[in-house]
Chains A and B, each alone.
Chain A
Amino acid sequence: GAGVSQTPSNKVTEKGKYVELRCDPISGHTALYWYRQSLGQGPEFLIYFQGTGAADDSGLPNDRFFAVRPEGSVSTLKIQRTERGDSAVYLCASSSIGLAGDNEQFFGPGTRLTVL
Chain B
Amino acid sequence: DQQVKQNSPSLSVQEGRISILNCDYTNSMFDYFLWYKKYPAEGPTFLISISSIKDKNEDGRFTVFLNKSAKHLSLHIVPSQPGDSAVYFCAAQRGETSGSRLTFGEGTQLTVNP
Residue positions of A touching B, CB distance < 8 A: 4, 31, 33, 35, 40-45, 48, 50, 55-56, 59, 91, 93, 95-110
Chain B interface size band reads 20 to 34
| Complex contact B106–A41 (CB within 8 A) | yes
Counting residue pairs across A and B whose Cβ atoms lie within 8 Å, the total is 77
| Complex contact A93–B43 (CB within 8 A) | yes
| Complex contact A106–B46 (CB within 8 A) | yes
| Complex contact A107–B43 (CB within 8 A) | yes
Asked whether A103 and B43 contact (CB < 8 A) given A41-B106, A42-B107, A45-B101, the answer is no
Q: Which of B66-74, B77-85, B91-99 contacts A (4 or more CB under 8 A)?
A: B91-99
Chain B residue at minimum C-beta to C-beta distance from A46: B101
- When distances are taken between beta carbons in the complex, the residues of chain B under 8 Å from A44 are 104
| Complex contact B96–A45 (CB within 8 A) | no
Provide a sorted-by-A list of 14 A–B residue pairs whose CB atoms are within 8 angstroms.
A31-B99, A35-B102, A42-B89, A42-B107, A45-B103, A48-B99, A48-B101, A56-B101, A91-B44, A95-B98, A98-B98, A101-B96, A103-B97, A109-B43
Q: Does B1 contact A (CB under 8 A)?
A: no
Asked whether A98 and B102 contact (CB < 8 A) given A4-B43, A105-B46, the answer is no
Give the CA-CA distance A95 to B97 in the complex, in Å. Answer: 10
Instruction: Kindly identify which residue among B42, B100, B105 contacts A42, using a CB–CB cutoff of 8 Å.
Output: B105
Instruction: Kindly identify which residue among B9, B42, B44, B96 contacts A103, using a CB–CB cutoff of 8 Å.
Output: B96
| Complex contact B43–A45 (CB within 8 A) | no
Chain B residue at minimum C-beta to C-beta distance from A45: B101
Give the CA-CA distance A103 to B107 in the complex, in Å. Answer: 21
Give the CA-CA distance A33 to B104 in the complex, in Å. Answer: 14
Give the CA-CA distance A97 to B45 in the complex, in Å. Answer: 19
